[in-house]
Amino acid sequence: AQSVAQPEDQVNVAEGNPLTVKCTYSVSGNPYLFWYVQYPNRGLQFLLKYITGDNLVKGSYGFEAEFNKSQTSFHLKKPSALVSDSALYFCAVRGGSYIPTFGRGTSLIVHP
């Protein structure tokens, strides 16, 4: 069975500082990995994905994520956080079944 772990319920960071939201996964075969963002009263929006190729993936709004196969991780990063980045972030994995599994979400709070 595939699974996703987001070990932090909440991440706090000051505006202008770098941010990291952690994600580890377990899946059979090659993983398809995704990050989504949810703003209040909205549905989830796609940020970025890793399918194959370069381990560093760039996505929307200046976010990037690094795929690490040996550590089975796919951490979300941004060099300089904005207050407007404050939201709920979900990591997801798809394996051979093509059915995605989502993490429980991490609330990112960026302080002015």
The contact set with another protein (CB under 8 A) reads 32, 34, 36, 41-46, 49, 51, 90, 92, 98-100, 102-105
Q: Tell me whether residue 53 or residue 112 sits nearer to another protein (CB atom).
A: 53
Give the nearer residue to another protein in terms of CB position, either 60 or 80. Answer: 60
- Residue (7 or 79) nearer to another protein, CB: 7
Q: Look at residue 61 and give its three-state secondary structure.
A: helix
Which residues, listed in sequence order, are joined to residue 87 by a DSSP beta bridge? 108
Is there a contact between 94 and 32 (Cβ–Cβ < 8 Å)? Answer: yes
Select 92 or 110, whichever has its Cβ closest to another protein: 92
Pairwise CA distance, residues 20 & 29, whole Å = 26
Q: State in angstroms the smallest separation of the CB of 24 from another protein.
A: 15
Rounded to a whole number of angstroms, the minimum distance from the CB of residue 87 to another protein is 14
Neighbours of 59 (CB within 10 A): 18
